[in-house]
């Protein structure tokens, strides 16, 4: 075994990376589930994603803090390689959500690449509540852009932010 088990007293830190543009109830569900096995969860907003985001990094951080306020949850942004960020943060786990088979190929590739870069870091896949499996940030953005009701899918702070964004 390359990575010895952590001593019982060590706190188990998980990093949950993503775009979170914006955070949805699906993301929040994954954070909650992570807290069942991690002492601390760092929600990490990727700054260098190739996508053109709707919300700025600062806006996304603020919305995540509103949506998942919990003493064991920290919200940070990161630039560069996730494995470097995780190492600096003292994390031993990367958490990712798996919704459908369509997520699998990309997630599998990324997990293997991250293992290649940092063998001591374990990727953990979590499945959300059934009614949240169809939910994605891109779908929320599209529905909200056209004035559809997403109030059941996001935190009230996110709902307001979407209204403000599309009212402009």
Which residues form the catalytic set?
Answer: 27, 51, 99, 137
Residue 19 binds ligand ADP, judged by CB under 6 A:
yes
Of 103, 123, 124, 143, the residue at the interface with ligand ADP (CB under 6 A) is 103
Helix/strand number for the chain, H first, E second: 6, 5
Q: Which two tokens stand for residue 30?
A: 């994954």
Residue 135 binds ligand ADP, judged by CB under 6 A:
yes
Q: How far is 79 from 101, CA to CA, in rounded Å?
A: 28
- Of 30 and 73, which has the nearer Cβ to ligand ADP? 30
Cα–Cα distances in Å, from 166 out to 22, 51, 84, 145, 146? 13, 19, 36, 6, 9
- Of 32 and 103, which has the nearer Cβ to ligand ADP? 103
* Binding region for ligand ADP (CB under 6 A): 18-20, 24, 26-27, 30, 49, 96-97, 99, 103, 128, 132, 135-137
């Amino acid at each position: 075994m390359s990575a010895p088990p952590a001593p019982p007293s060590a706190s188990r830190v998980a990093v949950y990376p993503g775009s979170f543009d914006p955070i949805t109830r699906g993301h929040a569900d994954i954070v909650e589930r992570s807290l069942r096995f991690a002492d601390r969860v760092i929600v990490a907003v990727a700054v260098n994603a190739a996508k053109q985001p709707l919300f700025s990094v600062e806006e996304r951080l603020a919305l995540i803090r509103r949506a998942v306020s919990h003493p064991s949850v920290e919200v940070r942004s990161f630039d560069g390689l996730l494995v470097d960020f995780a190492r600096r943060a003292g994390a031993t786990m990367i958490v990712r959500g798996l919704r459908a088979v369509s997520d699998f190929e990309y997630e599998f590739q990324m997990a293997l690449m991250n293992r290649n870069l940092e063998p001591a870091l374990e990727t953990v896949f979590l499945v959300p509540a059934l009614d949240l499996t169809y939910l994605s940030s891109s779908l929320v953005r599209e529905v909200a852009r056209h004035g559809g009701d997403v109030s059941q899918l996001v935190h009230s702070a996110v709902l307001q932010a979407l209204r403000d964004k599309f009212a402009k």
